[in-house]
Amino acid sequence: MEVVTFGESMVLFSSDKNLPLEYVHQFNKQMAGAESNVAIGLAKLGHRVGWFSKLGDDPFGRYVLHQIRGYGIDISRCRHTGDAPTGVYFKEQRTKGKTQVYYYRRHSAASMMHPDELDEAYLAGFKILHITGITPALSPDCLALTRKAVASARKLGLKIVFDPNVRWKLWDSEEAAKEVLLELAGSADYILPGLDEGELLTGCTQPEDIASALLKPGAAGVVVKLGSKGAYFKSEQDSGYMAPFPAEEVDPVGAGDAFAAGFISGLLHGETLEQAVRRASAMGAIAVSVNGDVEGLPNEAELLDMMKGDQDYQNVKR
């Protein structure tokens, strides 16, 4: 196995009409969650992935599990509970490219994940642990679980990829978020903040300064995501800006998860930091051009076809 990740996946209800939700009467049912989005992106690229969570013993929980398992992802460490429901959320799109989400996840089954439920022997079978800042914000037990997973991964020699992925509705305060996210960033090998997240963590406003502040001794790299302006990457050996792939934005939700999946895929292929960021940028561009978090994510051949058409990528030695 190659990559393991964990966190909350919810049922998503969205409308194809650009209207406020109070005027929408029919919804499309989908499944989404940052960590499972990354897992699915990696699985579609041909990687061997494991994902675990806690789901409600309800129809939505069964739906989520069936969806994720359908991509060939190992879900053998998932748990169920009858004490709490599977979370849901609604997506509102009033104008093209402008999306608002409404979460109904408080006291959900996933928030009841507990550190004692972590199977360390299971983690030992992987190369990379992917974590986000969402899971530790769900509950004190989820924070403890994340800390235990990170400690176990470091002991076992797994590389840790951390995406801060701030969800302000889950945090009590900016100070609480900053403290926890800096702690996790300090334990990670690769850190993937957005520009706003980097400013929160470091107080810096420029990508170069953010990356320098987060690149602790021994870290393998920091990548600051700049949305439509591309990305900035930095390691002890290299640094630079990566131009974005052209894309017509249809739905920006899930772009960061696609970016993370592409980046981790590059690491698994033995690519340099620059090459991995190029692969990540291509994945992000594909994600924003399709409605839905994972439905439009490419397989390996489709991703490479897109990248071969980009002159900057062709100039990178492979």
What domains can you pick out in the chain, each with its CATH number? 3-314 (3.40.1190.20)
How do residues 5-55 score in pLDDT, each as one tens digit? 999 999 999 887 889 999 999 999 999 999 999 999 999 999 999 999 999
Annotated catalytic residue: which of 257, 305, 310, 312? Answer: 257
d(CA 298, CA 234): 27
CA dihedral angle for residue 291, residue 294, residue 296, residue 302, rounded to 10 degrees: 160
Higher pLDDT, 112 or 253: 112
Q: What is the pTM of this model?
A: 0.93
User: What is the greatest pairwise CA distance in the chain?
Assistant: 55
Q: Quick one: pLDDT band at residue 66, thresholds 50, 70, 90?
A: very high
Of the listed ranges 46-50, 139-143, 298-302, the least confidently predicted one is 298-302
Residue 287, pLDDT score: 81
Give me the residue label for tokens 């850190």: 191
Average pLDDT over residues 102-129: 97
Q: Quick one: pLDDT band at residue 317, thresholds 50, 70, 90?
A: very low
Residue 161 has pLDDT above 80, yes or no: yes
Residue 318, pLDDT score: 33
Instruction: Find residue 160's DSSP bridge partners.
Output: 129
How do residues 256-295 score in pLDDT, each as one tens digit? 999 999 999 999 999 999 999 999 999 998 887 666 678 8
The Cα angle at residue 251 between residues 170 and 128, in degrees rounded to 5: 60
Residue 249 has pLDDT above 70, yes or no: no
Average pLDDT for the chain = 92
Is 257 annotated as catalytic? Answer: yes
Q: Quick one: pLDDT band at residue 306, thresholds 50, 70, 90?
A: confident
The highest-confidence range among 52-66, 91-105, 252-266, by mean pLDDT, is 52-66
Residue 196 has pLDDT above 70, yes or no: yes
Residue 97, pLDDT score: 61
Residues contacting 111, CB < 8 A, separation 6+: 8, 84, 105, 138, 139, 141, 142
Average pLDDT over residues 96-117: 90
Higher pLDDT, 253 or 262: 262
Residue 61 has pLDDT above 90, yes or no: yes
